[in-house]
Amino acid sequence: MKNFKFLKVLTALFLIAVTISPLFANGQKETENKESLKTIKIFAYQFRNDDNRTQHMADAYMKSHPDVKIEIEEYPWDSYFQNLEVRFNAENPDFDVVIMDIPMIANYAERGFLKDLSQYIPKSTFEDKIAQKSLADVIYKNQIVAAPMQNSDQYLFINTDMAKAAGVTLPSVVVDNNTNITSDFAKKWGDSAWTWEQTVAAAKKMTKDLDNDGITDVYGLHIEQAGRLYQLQPLGGSRGGSIVAPDGMTVKGYLDQKPWYEAIQFYSDLFNKDKVEVPGSFIPGYDAPKEFVNGSFAMMVGGGWNIKMIMENPNINVAIAAHPYFKDGIATTPTGSWVIGASASVPDEKMGLVSDFLSWWTLTDEGSELWYDTNGELPASKYMLNKLSTNEKYSQFPRSAQRLGVYQVMNTAQGRPVTPFYPFINEGFDKAFTNAAQGVDPTKALDDAINEIEKNIQRVK
């Protein structure tokens, strides 16, 4: 009898447990879902490799949104793209926000990996807050697939001691450590740019065999990112050359035109005919800014990210001139940098939070200023471009030199081609210009690259 009563009690307890355990499970699941909807996972590029700059932005947002949790997964340059590709191709990428290099976004958008941000943030807001040329670079098939975080700029750095020793007269307007850079000055500076023809003539004078042993000790000119599309696009852009069709589907009829044959011939001549360029610049790990400071070459076309290191180095006297252009063309300069977007896998009920975070970072005065103060690259937001140009906070050199970059963003900037096939085009372009620099016939190098690019495009269409 006692055993029977015990079994009845045990059975009752079991039935109660079976009945209420789903309630506990559902409660736990509901709690987890609520937490998930308040958690933003970011896949990030590791800016500058010295500290987690994305974390700095996340901390600021979480401080004003204490109910939000932000988790960051960060990778350096040499592993970032491979890891992002793997994650995008997974069934669940397991991130909400992604930081991307701007030329890749059309590829990611075409493959359905990105949300159209204009569905959550009015297009008019982007137009009001972001510089026109920066905004154009993140629009693909009439969708805003990312928000620009920053921009980029390029200059001609000249070793003034070497120029003087070679009898080279500098451009009429240059920047040094004592220059007060006003908006009026920036325009005069831009208008004073050397042509490429003048730049090469000066480079020849400054190329030196110091000990007369038949070996060049100082080269006259180096273009920082040797053989790279980003760096070399102005060589064709100056004469009106486009790389791809407006729909991004082919390079035929664009990259195979006169401006690009002239551009690749010019680049080849720097190495093989004029012999003013550094042949060793293609070696992996070649540190162009460091070699410029060390006196390996007299001039460098390079990015604004070098200004502080170069201009504050006590071992070299440098003037900054505007980016060169061809005398029968116009001034064009590289532009575009890192952008931030939302993964297509983000559930709709979470996009309010995600879009608010993206908007805060890139479109608000607070977020865009904090990112500029954190990372120091040329801004993309109109607010920060204006503030950089006019506010006393940014009037001290070398930071004030970025006012020249503002001038370029508004007047000479030319974005990289917006195309889902950018990886093919970038690889082919780089290979063609690198081969031409190393002695391959320039026309053949470009034709071979175009054929390879088109084969790859057709293969995946």
Q: What is the pLDDT of residue 33?
A: 65
CATH of the domain at 143: 3.40.190.10
User: How many domains, the chain?
Assistant: 2
Burial class (CB in 10 A: 0-12, 13-18, 19+), 225: middle
Give the model confidence (pLDDT) of 45-66 as tens digits. Answer: 998 766 689 999 999 999 999 9
**What is the average per-residue pLDDT within 436-457?**
98
Question: Does residue 45 form part of some domain?
Answer: yes
On whether both 139 and 160 belong to a single domain, the answer is no
Banded model confidence at residue 461, pLDDT cuts 50, 70, 90 = confident
Does the pLDDT of residue 458 top 70, yes or no?
yes
Mean pLDDT of the chain: 91
Has residue 220 been placed in a domain?
yes
435: containing domain: 154-334+421-460
pLDDT at 2: 41
- 78 & 146 share domain: yes
Distance between CA atoms of residues 83 and 100, nearest Å = 12
Instruction: Give me the pLDDT at residue 12, please.
Output: 42
pLDDT at 26 (0 to 100): 54
> Do 354 and 271 sit in the same domain of this protein?
no
Higher-scoring residue by pLDDT: 7, 213: 213
Residue 183's pLDDT band (cuts 50, 70, 90): confident
* Whole-angstrom distance, CA of residue 412 vs CA of residue 205: 28
* Beta pairing partners, 40: 70
- Residue 356 located in a structural domain: yes
267 and 183 inside one domain: yes
Same domain, 318 and 303: yes
353 in a structural domain:
yes
Say whether both 146 and 158 belong to one domain.
no
> What is the spatial distance between Cα 123 and Cα 144, in angstroms, rounded to a whole number?
8
Higher pLDDT among residues 331 and 280, named by residue: 331
Cα(21)–Cα(33) distance, integer angstroms: 18
| Domain assignment of residue 92, yes or no | yes
Write down the pLDDT at residue 412: 95
Q: Which residues have CB under 8 Å from 324's CB, separation 6+?
A: 156, 193, 194, 195, 196, 198, 199, 301
Same domain, 121 and 176: no
* pLDDT range class, residue 338, cuts 50, 70, 90: very high
- Give CA–CA dist 239/218, Å, rounded: 30
Enumerate long-range contacts of 228-231, CB under 8 Å, 24 or more apart.
228/430, 229/416, 229/425, 229/426, 229/429, 229/430, 230/103, 230/152, 230/334, 230/336, 230/416, 231/154, 231/301, 231/334
Q: Does the structure show a pLDDT above 80 at 350?
A: yes
Instruction: Write out pLDDT tens, residues 5-27.
Output: 433 443 343 333 434 444 444 55
Q: Is the pLDDT of residue 82 over 50?
A: yes
Q: How many CA atoms lie within 13 A of 428 on its CB side?
A: 24
- Same domain? For 186 and 309 the reply is yes
- Residue 348 domain-assigned (yes or no): yes
- The SS3 call for residue 76 is coil
> Is the domain of 199 the same as that of 308?
yes
- What average pLDDT does the segment 290-316 reach? 94
Residues 105 and 207 in one domain: no
Across the range 84-103, mean pLDDT stands at 95
Write out the two tokens for 8: 């009845």
Domain boundary among 377, 405, 433: 405
The answer to whether residues 360 and 61 touch, using CB atoms and an 8 Å cutoff, is: yes
Q: Which residue has the higher pLDDT, 193 or 280?
A: 193
Stretch 231-244: mean pLDDT, rounded? 98
Same domain membership, residue 308 and residue 194: yes
Strand partners, 285: none
Band of pLDDT at residue 34, cut at 50, 70 and 90: low
Measured CA to CA, the distance from residue 137 to residue 140 in angstroms comes to 8
Lowest mean pLDDT among 28-32, 51-55, 112-116, 226-230: 28-32
pLDDT number for residue 111: 95
Measured CA to CA in angstroms, residue 72 lies from 43, 56, 95, 156, 235 at distances of 6, 11, 9, 37, 38
Mark whether 169 and 261 lie in a shared domain. Answer: yes
pLDDT tens digit sequence for 138-173: 999 999 999 999 999 999 999 999 999 999 999 999
Q: Does the residue 17 lie in any domain? A: no
Q: Are 413 and 335 in contact (CB under 8 A)?
A: yes
Please report whether residue 168 resides in a domain: yes
- Which pair of structure tokens corresponds to residue 176? 């040094």
Give the pLDDT confidence of 251-264 residue by residue, as tens digits.
999 999 999 999 99
Q: How far apart are CA 179 and CA 399, in angstroms?
A: 11
